[in-house]
């Protein structure tokens, strides 16, 4: 496996994807280059066996699929997410301090580690809605230079800070933007200039902070990688690499990336929305298949919910389960939870292990300590829209939800290879609990 090349491409994707809108745009560019046909939900679809297509929703969620043949067996799906915990810039963002400083009013999006957002160069990216002669138009804006900083308070003014500090998002986390000048509305003026539009034509915005530190390799032998947004762009990237390399045989390959996982998935572009079920049903209908065909195909489908997992922390080893201890570079993590916060069960775990074996990549297991609650992800949420055999997996990482996370330099390539095998395979139900796996 060519780990160096995979990491170079991953880093390029991470650095160019400060948030979900840019991640989706960059994935669309790759799909265009691979000759996939873009579809829109609001226009009619014509689909042909042997071809690949993709569709976006809200410019922040994406589904790409390849239909090998009209009488396909089922859907082989990998779902990940492209949003990350971050600070969102509020409307009327400017706050003037002592008539000297201008800082920006922000709020939390998702559950982030606050401390590592302090004392580092930040900038702003997102989308703006611009008035046109016909209506409104989306423009993406990335202020691609170091622009903002959230300064810590000096230790001299809080000697107890290292004993634990409670961050108040409305007080502690507001980024310093500029010195107060003569002009009003300088933030929106700057965004308008970056986008090449007039400020008065900007009707609304979804703008977010991001960490300017680029992705890097580190460790004596370059064993580790560090970047913002590894959760979950590392999985989204590996899924797309596998999708592009796959040769679907009997089943439709579906690369699916949702938005809003970090805030519970409950949006039209999130896993609790209808995006996946609408798309699968539409493929079924446009390919001239019946409702009975659809239900049979779902029974012979497989969903891999791919969202990063916690590796054993080198300083806090007791936080991990005593017997299920994932490490960086030791391969794909299959996640289990008896209360089904993770969807994995014996059936889906067995299918995933067979896929890893076929791909010749290592896998390991994660469970929470029995006295820790742990996190949740999109796998069980998407079951309420499309119910099918699902496994929860992820790549092992440290510092999840920091704006600069750490992972293994080998694991992305492992997941890309497993995704390639998944997308090329089929899982045919031959009676409840029994499956014919075709690779
Ligand atoms: Co995640």
Residue at a domain's end among 211, 245, 272: 211
Residue 81 Cα to ligand 1 middle (Å): 7
Please check whether residue 340 lies inside any domain of the structure. yes
Q: What is the CATH number of the domain that holds 290?
A: 3.40.630.10
State the pLDDT at residue 373. 85
State the pLDDT at residue 4. 94
State the pLDDT at residue 85. 98
With residue 92 as reference, give the H or E element that holds it.
Answer: strand 86-97
| 15 and 125 both lie in a single domain | no
State the pLDDT at residue 374. 83
Residue 28 lies in domain: 3-84+228-438
Residue 231 Cα to ligand 1 middle (Å): 5
Residue 404 Cα to ligand 1 middle (Å): 14
Residue 112 Cα to ligand 1 middle (Å): 11
CA atoms within 13 A on the CB side of 319: 11
Residue 425 Cα to ligand 1 middle (Å): 26
Number of domains in the chain: 2
Residue 377 Cα to ligand 1 middle (Å): 7
Residue 234 Cα to ligand 1 middle (Å): 10
Residue at a domain's end among 211, 246, 281: 211
pLDDT by 10-residue block (mean), the chain, 439 residues: 94 98 98 98 98 98 98 98 98 97 98 98 98 97 98 97 97 98 95 97 98 98 98 98 97 98 96 97 98 98 98 97 98 96 96 98 97 88 94 98 98 98 97 94
Residue at a domain's end among 211, 243, 270: 211
What distance in Å separates the CA atoms of residue 114 and residue 172, rounded to the nearest whole number?
Answer: 9
Residue 230 Cα to ligand 1 middle (Å): 8
Residue 135 Cα to ligand 1 middle (Å): 35
| 237 and 301 both lie in a single domain | yes
CA–centroid distance for 7 within its chain: 17
Tell me 119's DSSP state.
Answer: S
State the pLDDT at residue 69. 96
Interhelix angle for 346-359 vs 411-424, to 10°? 110
| 37 and 145 both lie in a single domain | no
Q: Are 407 and 230 in contact (CB under 8 A)?
A: yes
């Amino acid at each position: 496996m060519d780990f160096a090349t995979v990491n170079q491409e991953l880093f390029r994707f991470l650095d160019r994807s400060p948030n979900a809108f840019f991640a989706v745009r960059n994935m669309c560019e790759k799909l265009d280059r691979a000759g996939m046909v873009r579809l829109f939900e609001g226009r009619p679809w014509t689909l042909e066996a042997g071809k690949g297509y993709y569709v976006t929703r809200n410019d922040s969620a994406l589904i790409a699929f390849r239909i090998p043949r009209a009488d396909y067996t089922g859907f082989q799906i990998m779902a990940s997410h492209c949003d990350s915990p971050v600070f969102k810039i509020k409307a009327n963002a400017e706050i003037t301090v002592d008539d000297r400083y201008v800082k920006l009013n922000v709020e939390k999006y998702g559950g982030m580690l606050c401390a590592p957002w302090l004392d580092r160069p930040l900038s702003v990216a997102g989308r703006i809605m611009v008035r046109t002669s016909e209506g409104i138009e989306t423009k993406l804006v990335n202020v691609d230079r170091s622009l903002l900083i959230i300064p810590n308070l000096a230790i001299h003014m809080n000697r107890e800070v290292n004993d634990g500090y409670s961050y108040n998002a409305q007080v502690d986390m507001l980024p310093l933007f500029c010195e107060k000048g003569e002009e009003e509305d300088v933030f929106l003026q700057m965004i308008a200039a970056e986008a090449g539009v007039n400020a008065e034509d900007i009707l609304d915005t979804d703008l977010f902070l991001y960490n300017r530190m680029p992705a890097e390799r580190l460790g004596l032998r370059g064993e580790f990688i560090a970047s913002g947004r590894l959760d979950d762009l590392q999985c989204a990237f590996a899924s797309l690499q596998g999708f592009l390399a796959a040769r679907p045989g009997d089943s439709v390959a579906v690369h699916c990336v949702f938005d809003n996982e970090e805030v519970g998935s409950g949006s039209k572009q999130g896993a609790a929305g209808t995006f996946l079920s609408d798309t699968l049903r539409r493929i079924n209908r446009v390919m001239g298949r019946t409702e009975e065909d659809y239900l049979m195909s779902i029974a012979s489908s497989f969903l891999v919910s791919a969202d990063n997992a916690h590796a054993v922390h080198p300083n806090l080893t007791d936080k991990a389960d005593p017997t299920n201890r994932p490490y960086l570079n030791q391969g794909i993590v299959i996640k289990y939870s008896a209360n089904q916060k993770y969807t994995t069960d014996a059936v889906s775990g067995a299918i995933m292990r067979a896929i890893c074996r076929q791909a010749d990549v290592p896998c390991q297991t994660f469970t929470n300590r029995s006295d820790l609650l742990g996190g949740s992800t999109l796998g069980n949420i998407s079951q309420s829209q499309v119910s099918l055999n699902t496994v929860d997996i992820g790549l092992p990482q440290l510092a999840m939800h920091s704006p600069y996370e750490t992972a293994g330099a080998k694991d992305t390539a492992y997941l890309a290879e497993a995704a390639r095998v998944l997308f090329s395979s089929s899982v045919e139900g031959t009676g409840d609990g029994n499956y014919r796996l075709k690779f």
